[in-house]
């Protein structure tokens, strides 16, 4: 699975003008299931996201995770949005190929699995809408943007 994390001051996702997910301070997680992925990648990806120390401590160093944003046990939000275009392959020309992305049914199953695991492990999880035309609005804090990839054999 692939993900792009963006540390945000706030973020929301809209579908047809309706806000379907919104968070304050936390992480916007753009996630993509690839062919060959399974729940094992979902488990590893979520564990990495929840423990990644990319929020500032009192000294301004990146020492806090989304689970302990202020060092006092306060959690930040997760806004999880499916984005199959993270599987884009562009080495063969100028038009991206998305053959590396999981098939739609499998992608939905793995996305739903990731969201369910996130909700079980973290108190504030919002989502986009799978396969919808979404508009994502965010204020990137920093900016801090981090790509993650958990390979099937990792």
Dist. CA 113–CA 95, nearest whole Å: 30
Q: Which residues does the annotation mark as catalytic?
A: 83-85
pLDDT value at residue 127: 98
Closest CA to 135 of 5, 3, 28: 28
Predicted pLDDT of residue 121: 97
- Report pLDDT for 154: 56
Burial (0-12, 13-18, 19+ Cβ within 10 Å), 118: buried
CB-side neighbour CA atoms (13 Å) of 12: 7
Residue 16 has a pLDDT of 97
Averaged pLDDT, groups of 10, the chain, 154 residues long: 98 98 98 96 97 95 93 89 96 94 97 98 97 97 97 78
Neighbouring residues of 113: CB distance < 8 A, sequence distance ≥ 6:
39, 42
Residue 153 pLDDT: 76
- Domains of the chain and any CATH numbers: 2-149 (3.50.80.10)
């Amino acid at each position: 699975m692939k993900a792009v994390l963006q540390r945000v001051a706030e973020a929301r996702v809209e579908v047809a003008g309706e806000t379907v997910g919104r968070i304050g301070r936390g992480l916007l997680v753009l996630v993509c299931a690839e062919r060959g992925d399974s729940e094992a990648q979902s488990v590893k990806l979520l564990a990495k996201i929840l423990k990644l120390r990319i929020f500032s401590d009192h000294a301004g160093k990146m020492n806090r995770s989304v689970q302990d944003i202020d060092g006092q046990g306060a959690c930040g939000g997760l806004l999880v949005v499916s984005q199959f275009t993270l599987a884009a392959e562009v080495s063969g020309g100028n038009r991206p190929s998305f053959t590396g992305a999981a098939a739609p049914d499998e992608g939905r199953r793995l996305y739903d699995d990731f969201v369910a695991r996130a909700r079980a492990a973290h108190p504030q999880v919002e989502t986009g809408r799978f396969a919808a035309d979404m508009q994502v609005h965010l204020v990137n804090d920093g900016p801090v943007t981090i790509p993650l990839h958990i390979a099937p054999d990792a």
